[in-house]
Amino acid sequence: MRGLLLALAAGAALAAPPRILDGFETVRAWKAVPSDGVLLALGGAGSLRMDFDFQGRGGYAAARRDLPLTLPPNYEITFLVRGDCPPENLEFKLVDPSGENVWWVRKPAFAFPREWTRVTLKKRQVSFAWGPGGADPTRIASVEWCVTAGSGGKGRVEFRDLAIRELPVEVPYDRTPAATSGPGWSQLDFRIPREFGGLRIDWADPGPRDFRVLVSPDGSAWTPLREVRGAAGPASHLLLPETEARFLRVEGGAAKALAVRPLAFGESWNAAFETLAREAPRGDYPRCYLGEQPYWTLVGVDGGLDSALLSEDGALEAGVGGPSVEPFLWSGGQLLGWAQAACAQSLERGALPIPTVTRTHGDLTLRVTAFGAGSPAAPVIRARYRLSSASPWKGTLFLAVRPFQVNPPVQFLGTPGGAAAIGTLAFGGDSATVDGKVLLRSATRPDGAGAVGFHGGSIVDYLHRGALPPAATATDPAGHASGALRYDVDLAPGEVRDILVDLPLLGAGPRPPFEADLREAVASWDEKLNRVRVELPEPGAADTLRTCLAHILISRKGPALRPGTRSYARSWIRDGAMMSAALLRMGHADEVRDYIEWYAPYLYPNGKVPCVVDDRGADPVPENDSPGEFLHLLAEYARCTGDRAFLARLWPQGRRAADYLEGILEKNGLVPASISHEGYSAKPMHSYWDDFWSLRGFRDAAWICGELGDSAGAAHFAALETRFRGSLLASIQATMAAHRVDYIPGCAELGDFDATSTTVALMPGDELGNLPRSAVEATFAEFYRQFRVRRQGGAPGDRYTPYETRTIGAFAQLGWVDRAQELLGAYLEDRRPLAWNQWPEVVQRDPRSPVFLGDLPHAWVGSDYIRSLLSLLVRERGDALVLGAGVPATWLAKGVRLEGLRVPGGELGFSARTEAGRVVVEITGTAPCPRGGVVVRWPLPGAFRRARVDGRIVEGSTGTELTLRRIPATVVMEP
């Protein structure tokens, strides 16, 4: 009876007409809300017309109107849309009466139809976008259509017939369908209208067959849903998103069973593959579809326009968003994949970005090595599959081309991870093409190849039999074909066999022999990563520094420095400024110069510095740390290189940025609220992160003016720096008092604790001497307490962001050297995977719990590590350079060495070691002694009582620091 009442209620609700929210007799209620630099005009009668022009920038074009509305418990919103424009991102938003909480449905890369087309948005598709709240919306004050720059460009879109329809509350389906069949057809009667997301058909024979799926509301009028040709195998799986029917029929074959999938199955191909993976043997699908967090690393060339990913299990992703090549072994009548192996990772020479995955199956070993070759404009990924065995082995290596990225489904930003498109897969000769583009060229001639469409079964279904599909080409309307190359191998004990393939990401031409190209890549990376040479006793510390530098170089796209290549494939000025600081110190000034040249033209005419730039252009969102970061970047380049001509040429843009920053200051003397800090993305806050960057920006503006002979400008910005610092310190003290905290707060409104953000005040801010010392120490003491609790498995939380590596340098600056060493060792233990010397944006206690990781490797995180590690050896303190400020006494027994560090005026190096209780420091390089001198820190307990410089006793030298006014020099300090 309950089911019948629900069915009647559902029928009544669905029979009720929709309520028109706006018939668009007039569009006067709608307001154009474009972002900076975007043109938008509204018009129309009977519809809302939006004419927009992104003018080569990023940003958005929004139309908003007040529309008070109480939402029912379940509903659908419908409208008609058409347009004449390239694919852009379409967003429909609901805003609550506070104006701060926003819910949305977002359709990325929406292809606007030329003819009026109905769009239906159901409540379950509406998700929370941003704001301080997050519960399901009930009272709405306004609605908005927003077109954001996807492909960019210009065009028009139109909307009409905006309506809402109340739906019955969703309840689980609790009926038993009635199954019937006849010659060549099978049918289900669900007894009431039912929503579902897919279908599994188990066949009575293996096929092949052509079939179609139909639905009906009454068993009389049938609507075709899918037509499939050439299906083979014991089962067929169909994605049928948001389908509703009472009757379902399959025509074209004898089905043993029909089973509809829940709505969640049809939400996306990733959701479908997760279901299929759970039903398949372990290892048939990548581990990401089994609810396990995977890890991967980056493969490519310096500045390449595309790159690859190599998974920890040996799958190789062929370019951003592309399909993957995954190895399988057929051995002794069994298929061996990642799940049947012990997998280990390594890097060439422990640091070079040439990764290897070693898969061990008893006596049999498969080593997958990949590296980038070619030019930035035409990169190619070269891969070697090396087989060896301690005993005789005869079997097959299959290289499967699969519609899966290495970038997993939980990666939702930028390039969404998971499923990849393979519409047509064709093998011919030694190559494989996907949708007409060469995906793979095999330098080793394969012994066979075959392809299959999704409805014909997965390629792994064939590999489990040691076989290939009979066809060399497969076309799949669903876009998920798969296939494999076969290599037959016969190994004697100890013999090695290499299978070599190339993935020409952007149409690269012929390459030299593999081993010669590998030697060239090794030599090239050796030179780039060892311009500065660091030797430390801490295991992995120096190798990780070199690898992080390589990942910064590979993550950039041409001149654009980016924190990543998938999730964060955009250039934020904050990331770029901090990555540039690392590059400058490590001997890569040309890359920084190229970056400034590329970024500067994107500044707005009024001097506003865009927070981020990508292929669509500048993002207009105001983030008020940006001007200070641009000014610091410009000054750092000039200080490190002495390139005054470049500085003079770029200063007009810099001066506009400095004037803009001064112009936005509020009455309290500080910058306005913004969302530059990710923790404040829900609602803009007055972040002290912004203020510390602004303070640094004013100081650097004064320095630049002085360098260029503008004494008036130098005096103006120096005075502004002083006033701004006073305002900032007053605000910090007031916030501490208001919130009754003893640490430096993250923002004025919340008084929140955020030591990772506060580090910018110390480096590059160099404000330790100006901030209240007790508050700074309380900040990092509390951070250390929380760090120790987390390391011991307690609160707070089970994950953190490795931006925390910034704190290593902060602890050293405070003189907490042993704690800095403890932090360094702990963060090195948390590399993912350990041997690949990298961090994602998120590290968690359970390494297999699936979460969004950001990019892996994350180049901004890597730059934080580089800058912190180098600051243990050399750091700036005003006009002085401090050597060994973070070197613990335990390192000196083996000694530390630094050579070639770039500092203003040249290169600097030093070595430090203990000899019979004395500390010997040898300072080398071409850099002149800075105005404030070179400070040598005493690293042992207590104080030194005598010092010699170049063999001469320095009169009156005692204490914990010795200041030199001349370098190079050899210093011997005695207790």
Q: Find, among 562, 379, 401, 597, the residue nearest to 486 by Cα.
A: 401
Q: What is the pLDDT of residue 508?
A: 73
pLDDT tens per residue across span 848-883:
999 999 999 999 999 999 999 999 999 999 999 999
∠ CA 792-798-800, nearest 5°, is 100
Task: Report whether pLDDT(519) > 60.
Answer: yes
Give me the torsion for CA of 305, 311, 314, 315, rounded to 10°.
Answer: -60
Element (H, E) at 573: helix 573-585
pLDDT of residue 2: 35
Per-residue pLDDT at 297: 98
At residue 642, φ and ψ (nearest 5 deg) are 70, 15
Evaluate if residue 321 carries a pLDDT over 70. yes
Hey, what long-range contacts does 7-11 have (CB within 8 A, 24 or more apart)? 7/192, 7/193, 9/168, 10/168, 10/192, 10/193, 11/193
User: What is the per-residue pLDDT for 172?
Assistant: 87
State the pLDDT confidence band at 800, using cuts at 50, 70 and 90: very high
Nearest to 275 by CA among 194, 197, 174, 177: 197
CATH 2.60.120.430 fits 2-166, yes or no: yes
Average confidence score pLDDT of the chain: 93
Residues 6+ apart with CB under 8 A from 5: none
- What integer pLDDT is reported at residue 677 of this predicted model? 81
- What per-residue confidence (pLDDT) applies to 205? 86
* Amino acid 9: pLDDT: 38
Q: What Cα–Cα distance (Å) separates residue 371 from each residue in 173, 320, 355, 446, 602? A: 52, 16, 7, 21, 33
Average pLDDT for residues 760-787, to the nearest whole number? 96
Task: Report yes or no: 392 and 493 within 8 Å, Cβ to Cβ.
Answer: yes
Task: Identify the three-state secondary structure at position 299.
Answer: strand
Confidence of residue 233 (pLDDT cuts 50, 70, 90): confident
- The CA distance from 251 to 187, in Å, is 9
Section 146-165 average pLDDT: 90
Per-residue confidence (pLDDT) for residue 12, from 0 to 100:
39
Token pair recorded at residue 713:
């400008």
What are the tens digits of pLDDT across the range 1-39?
333 333 333 443 444 689 999 999 999 999 999 988 889
The confidence band for 134, taking pLDDT boundaries of 50, 70 and 90, is confident
Fold of 178-267: Jelly Rolls (2.60.120)
- CA separation for the pair 783, 775 (Å, rounded): 12
Q: What's the pLDDT score for residue 78?
A: 95
Spatial distance between the Cα atoms of 568 and 618, rounded to a whole number of angstroms: 15
For the segment 411-436, what is each residue's pLDDT rounded down to a tens digit? 988 899 999 999 999 999 899 999 99
Task: Output the pLDDT for position 4.
Answer: 31
Contact 48, 159 (CB under 8 A): yes
Write out pLDDT tens, residues 218-230.
999 999 999 988 8
Residue 390: predicted pLDDT: 95
Contact 675, 681 (CB under 8 A): yes
pLDDT-based confidence at residue 489 (cuts at 50, 70, 90): very high
Q: In percent, how much of the chain has pLDDT > 90? A: 85
- Which has the closest alpha carbon to 111: 169, 65, 151, 168? 151
Query: Closest Cα to residue 849, out of 435, 294, 446?
Result: 294
CATH number of 530-875: 1.50.10.10
- Above 90 in pLDDT, residue 317? yes
Q: Which residue has the tokens 């923002």?
A: 747
> Kind of pairing, strands 88-95 and 102-110?
antiparallel
Q: What percent of the chain has pLDDT over 70?
A: 98
The pTM of the whole model exceeds 0.85: yes
Tens of pLDDT, residue by residue over 38-63, are 899 999 989 999 999 988 778 899 99
Which structure tokens are listed for 755?
A: 């030591």
The whole-angstrom separation of Cα 548 and Cα 695 is 29
CA distance 540 to 108: 41
- Mean pLDDT over residues 234-244, rounded? 90
The residues pairing with 309 across neighbouring beta strands, listed in sequence order, are: 298, 317
The band of 796, judged by pLDDT with boundaries at 50, 70 and 90, is low
Q: DSSP states of 466-526 as a string? A: T---S-SEEE-TTSB-EEEEEEEEEE-TT-EEEEEEEEETT-------HHHHHHHHHHHHH
Provide the pLDDT confidence category of residue 368 given band limits of 50, 70 and 90: very high
- Helix (H), strand (E) counts: the chain: 16, 51
Pick the CATH number of 287-525 from 2.70.98, 1.20.120, 2.60.40, 3.30.460: 2.70.98
Confidence bin at 903 (pLDDT 50/70/90): very high
Instruction: For residue range 79-112, list pLDDT tens digits in order.
Output: 999 999 999 999 999 999 998 899 999 998 899 9
> Residue 8: enclosing H or E segment and its boundaries?
helix 2-15
pLDDT in tens, 441-458: 999 999 999 999 998 889
What is the end-to-end Cα distance of the chain in Å, rounded? 92
pLDDT at residue 507 in the model: 78
In this model, does residue 741 exceed pLDDT 70? yes
